[in-house]
Every structure is written in C-alpha cells, then in structure tokens.
C-alpha cells in the first residue's frame, strides 16, 4: 500500500524559494567573469543536478525513503524545478575553487566550508517545505553525503579537465 502524503496543496513559500534560488544562482553565474570552456561550463552546471538526482533517488525513495521533495510524497511536475536549484551550486563550487587557486591541503577546508553552506541551504529548504524528512532522518546525516559529493565533484573535474588542458 503506497499512500500519498500531502504536505501542502498551494503555490507558496517552497515553490517561491526554489524559483528564487534558481534565478539568483543563474544571475550570479551570468555576471561572473567567464573562467571555463563551454565543455567545462556544462560539466559544472550539470554535475550538481546529476548528484542531486542520484542521491534523491538513492536515499529519498524506497527502500530508504528518508525524505520527500515538494508538496507531496509522490513526485509532481514542480519537483523537477527543485533539481534545477542545484545547477548554480555545482558551477559556483568549481568556479570559486578555481578562482581562489586552491590546491592540496586547502581543498579540505574548502570542501568543509561548502558542506556547512550546503547544510545551511538544506536547513532553509526544510523551513520553507522543499524537503520533508521521514523515518528519523536528520540534517546531520547529510554532512557525510555533502563531503562525499563535493570531493567526488572536484576529483571528476580534475580527471576530466587536467590543469594543462584548461588553458589558464
């Protein structure tokens, strides 16, 4: 038996939050000086979405089913927009890393800072109703997930775009 949980049935704070995050993120990307090739740009933009989808469909669906996205426990059309919310973060994560010229040890605190920011954004998402935790899930459980995702994100960027190919 798969009962649908309805958290909300109006267009309100959670939808406006998602729209605001997408618009502000894309505007930020638009005004920043260009640092990447088109391939690198697409990689950084899409990586956030891909990681969001992977983890949403790993821990956010049965058998784990630790949280729901949006107004209902089943997926709705607007939930697709919530994945677009991740687009700017993937880009900005790599952009700032490259802009600061971080290497070696400095990568560790950078990932830790982004993990804390990610938990903060997730907390805001909880407050406005974008996410709804279930089955005892807590925000602290997201910390190792963010540490892992961001480490893999940087690793993949370095594998696919070694320094000598970046034209910097």
For residue range 22-38, list pLDDT tens digits in order: 999 999 999 999 999 99
Tens of pLDDT, residue by residue over 123-167, are 999 999 999 999 999 999 999 999 999 999 999 999 999 975 554
Nearest to 55 by CA among 46, 45, 44, 66: 66
For tokens 């540490």, what's the residue? Answer: 147
The phi, psi pair for 3, rounded to 5°, reads -80, 140
The model's pLDDT over 61-107, given as tens digits with 9 standing for 90+, comes to 888 999 999 888 888 888 888 889 999 999 999 999 999 999 999 99
112 touches 119 (CB < 8 A) = no
Q: Extract the tokens encoding 44.
A: 């950084």
- What is the reported pLDDT for 81? 86
Give me the pLDDT at residue 2, please.
Answer: 63
Phi, psi of 23 (to 5 degrees): -65, -50
- At residue 130, the pLDDT reads 94
pTM: 0.89
The pLDDT of residue 27: 96
Tell me, what's the pLDDT at 168?
A: 45
**DSSP-derived secondary structure for 14-41:** HHHHHHHHHHHHHHHHHHSPP-S-HHHH
């Amino acid at each position: 038996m798969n009962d649908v949980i309805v958290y909300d049935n109006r267009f309100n704070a959670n939808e406006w939050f998602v729209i605001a995050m997408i618009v502000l993120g894309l505007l930020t990307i638009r005004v920043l000086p260009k640092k990447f090739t088109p391939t690198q740009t697409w990689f950084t933009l899409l990586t956030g979405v891909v990681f969001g989808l992977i983890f949403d469909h790993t821990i956010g669906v049965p058998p784990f089913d630790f949280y729901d996205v949006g107004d209902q426990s089943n997926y709705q059309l607007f939930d697709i927009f919530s994945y677009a919310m991740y687009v700017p973060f993937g880009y900005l994560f790599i952009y700032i890393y490259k802009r600061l010229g971080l290497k070696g040890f400095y990568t560790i605190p950078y990932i830790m800072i982004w993990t804390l920011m990610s938990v903060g954004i997730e907390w805001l998402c909880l407050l406005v109703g974008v996410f709804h935790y279930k089955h005892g899930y807590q925000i602290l459980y997201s910390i190792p997930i963010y540490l892992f995702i961001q480490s893999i994100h940087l690793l993949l960027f370095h594998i696919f775009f070694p320094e000598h190919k970046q034209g910097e």
